[in-house]
Structure 1
Amino acid sequence: MEYRYLPNSSCRVSTIGIGAGSLRESGPEEIRKIINSGMEHGINLIDTVMSDTSAAEPIAQALKGRRDEMIMQIHLGAVYPHETYSRTRSLSELQRGFEGELKKYGTDYADIGLIHYVDEVSDFEEILSGGIFDYALKLKDEGVIRHLGFSSHSAEVSRLFIETGEIDVFMFSLNAAYDFEPSEGKLILAKERAELYRACEKRGVGITVMKPYCGGQLLNAKTSPLYHRMSIPQCIRYALDSPVVISCLPGVRSLKDLEDVLGYYSASEEECDYSFIGSLPHRDINGICIYCGHCQPCPAGIDIASLNKYLDLAKSGDELARDHYMKLDKNAEDCTGCGVCEKNCPFHVDILERIQEACELFPPVTIGKP
């Protein structure tokens, strides 16, 4: 295992962490095994945002008596009414939610406290003026949060946070598909992102990486915005080659996923090389679903991220996708067309159009009729 220090700190962080968002795809016993196995291999970082709370108790059980061995990223503003993910900007709801998260994991502090999912300048301004930022600073002063940050997909908003001078680390969506843009027939690092990374170096702010595989899109040539498959070691190496990146947190669904990502440390230099990117075409990621779950909660109870994932898998030829889709508690037929999901989506996906596509691709089975 390799480690990097949080800026201006003696805190050593494993360069690979565990993103808990997909752990719910395993049962409680396997979740405990994933956490224990990760820690045995030296992983000491976990991000706790998830689409529902089903994985929380097994995580807490795995960490019982070992809490000090794990650096926990806990988000301020990710709340779970009815055990399902939602985002809030109500200060009182945020406070109750954060206190509930600490209690859920049997701890009285967060190693890293992140103001959750801030992608709009107006949202940033509301956080600074509405008491949320002051509350986060108070928690840090009291030691309830050891390192303060935020999570975002926006380079612009990230720079605004960094310029406050109060940020230690933040969680950012970083991969080759997001970083590069076409220019005169070549791919170049987007100016806005280059400026953000320079600002991080100047201010001594670190990044923990979400979406290193672009929601799995980069691992499949058919879905990759680069029109070319990248391997897991290539995706991990790309993220860790940035001097401001502390750790990479891919979503882990199973022990196999954990083994795959830990394989990075035994991969050869050739297996990690991603220099081919410079000669590739590119398509804009905007409008492409990466199954991040920020579209939730759906008033109709649809797991929109899973619906989109099974839709894409079916379109790419996965014969099992329909079966997985049909096992969802709610599916496209239950959509009311309210559009709440599209307002929440950070990538401006036309979700209602995709739901209609799912209705057509997965027509309901009518039992007992010819």
Structure 2
Amino acid sequence: MPESSRPFPKRREFLVALAGLASARNLLAQPSTDKIGKTLPTRKLGRLDQRITQFTLGGFHAWKAPAHQQEALIDRAIELGVRTFDNARDYGDGASEKLYGKYLTPRYRDYIYLTSKSSQKTGKAVREQLENSLRWMKTDHLDLWNIHAITTIQDVDERINAGVLDAFLKARDEGKVRHLGFTGHSSYKTHLHFLKRLHELGIELDTCLMPMSLVDPHYDSFITHVLPELKKRDYGVFAMKTMGFGSFFGNGPQEQQLRELNLSLTNSGISVEDMHHFVYSLPITSLCSGCESISQLEENVKALTSFKSLNQTAQETLLTKTESLYHRALEHYKS
């Protein structure tokens, strides 16, 4: 394996770290129903008095569905029991939020947990994005608003100094958002620095969205380094990039390189269910995945409805397979 792609930490180190979280696991899923039908299993959202569905429909891909299928995609998600919906102001320059405002919130707002994000770098700019998000999604509040896509230690410090965190806290105080979180996929060190700054300021947010997958433990791992810290603080944890933004299928931004390497996890005998079951076996609240078609949505939901928690032996077997396949192109989003 090339030096630049050498996995770190080793599988055993990861599994030892994971074993230390056993007492903090919140894997107990509860069946649920509401006035519009049966929902997917739910888990408690960290320290909050809130349960959400274990599967979250990601907003980034929803607006990419063919226009004539977008309404059907939302209705099918509701029919399958999805009640947690992710979004961000940046997705399609607002196109994804407008889609939710057209097909989701007018009919289903009272039954869903609705999230969005802002990646702007000043307090004034994030507040403007929030007002747009509320207007475009046709709601008077968000259930969760995220400081979006933190990238570097400097980025964290600059956003805090420019009033971003203050603007988020004010929005919660005003009732425009119920809960606050942060997201990022560039570096686990950035997440740890943000948690450190929050602690120094005497502030705790509620949730974190970060990459969690079968290949994450092999290089600069969010699972190994950040997840234990989040559980200490009793955060609600959302997983993303569980299928590598398409790279685990040999697709996505690094498709040409993956093709040259003949690299695809699915072609190596690893299934979508393997990818999802590994992550659902971690102490997370919900797995966020984008779907551009009803068939993709149904495949994602099936992976949850067939879920049985993996024991350490099963986890290690899957990690052994992915360690032998690992290349940085599989996680192009890590910087």
- Give me the TM-score of the superposition, normalised by structure 2: 0.73
Counterpart Cα distance in 2 of 1:66 and 1:192: 34
1:219-368 alignment, distance < 5 Å = 219-220=249-250, 222-224=262-264, 228-243=268-283, 245-267=284-306, 275-280=316-321, 281-285=324-328, 346-348=333-335
Matched, 1:60 2:117: no
Q: C-alpha deviations, 1:12-50, integer Å up to 9, x for none?
A: 111111111112332334212111211122211111132
1:306 corresponding residue in structure 2: none
Q: Which runs of 5+ in 2 are unaligned?
A: 1-39, 251-257
Secondary structure of 1:160's partner?
A: helix
1:217 corresponding residue in structure 2: 247
Secondary structure of 2:115's partner?
A: strand
1:162 corresponding residue in structure 2: 195
1:254–1:226 Cα change, 3 Å: closer
Counterpart Cα distance in 2 of 1:68 and 1:119: 34
Counterpart Cα distance in 1 of 2:162 and 2:48: 29
Work out whether residues 140 and 176 of structure 2, in 8 Å CA contact, stay in contact via their aligned partners in 1.
Answer: yes
1:110–1:278 Cα change, 3 Å: same
Counterpart Cα distance in 1 of 2:231 and 2:59: 28
Shift of 1:246: 0.8
Shift of 1:174: 1.2
Counterpart Cα distance in 1 of 2:132 and 2:280: 33
Counterpart Cα distance in 1 of 2:222 and 2:117: 25
Counterpart Cα distance in 1 of 2:330 and 2:275: 19
Aligned residues: 273
Matched, 1:208 2:249: no
1:171 corresponding residue in structure 2: 209
Shifted more, 45-54 versus 135-144: the winner is 45-54
Counterpart Cα distance in 2 of 1:264 and 1:42: 13
1:134–1:234 Cα change, 3 Å: same
Name the Cα RMSD after superposition.
Answer: 2.7
Higher gyration radius (CA): 1
1:288–1:236 Cα change, 3 Å: closer
1:356 corresponding residue in structure 2: none
1:36 corresponding residue in structure 2: 75
1:271–1:239 Cα change, 3 Å: closer
Q: Which amino acid aligns with 2:249?
A: L
Counterpart Cα distance in 1 of 2:285 and 2:304: 16
Secondary structure of 1:3's partner?
A: strand
Work out whether residues 73 and 111 of structure 1, in 8 Å CA contact, stay in contact via their aligned partners in 2.
Answer: yes
Q: Which amino acid aligns with 1:159?
A: L
Pick from 53, 58, 61: which aligns with 1:19? 58
1:271–1:263 Cα change, 3 Å: farther
2:28 corresponding residue in structure 1: none
The list of structure 1 runs, each at least 4 consecutive aligned residues, that deviate by more than 6 angstroms after superposition, is none
- Over the matched positions of the two proteins, sequence identity in percent amounts to 19
1:28–1:141 Cα change, 3 Å: same
Counterpart Cα distance in 2 of 1:2 and 1:229: 28
Counterpart Cα distance in 2 of 1:195 and 1:137: 26
Counterpart Cα distance in 1 of 2:307 and 2:87: 31
Q: Indicate the structure with greater helix content.
A: 2
Work out whether residues 17 and 46 of structure 1, in 8 Å CA contact, stay in contact via their aligned partners in 2.
Answer: yes
Q: Which runs of 5+ in 1 are unaligned?
A: 78-87, 182-189, 291-345, 349-370
Matched, 1:51 2:92: yes
1:106–1:14 Cα change, 3 Å: same
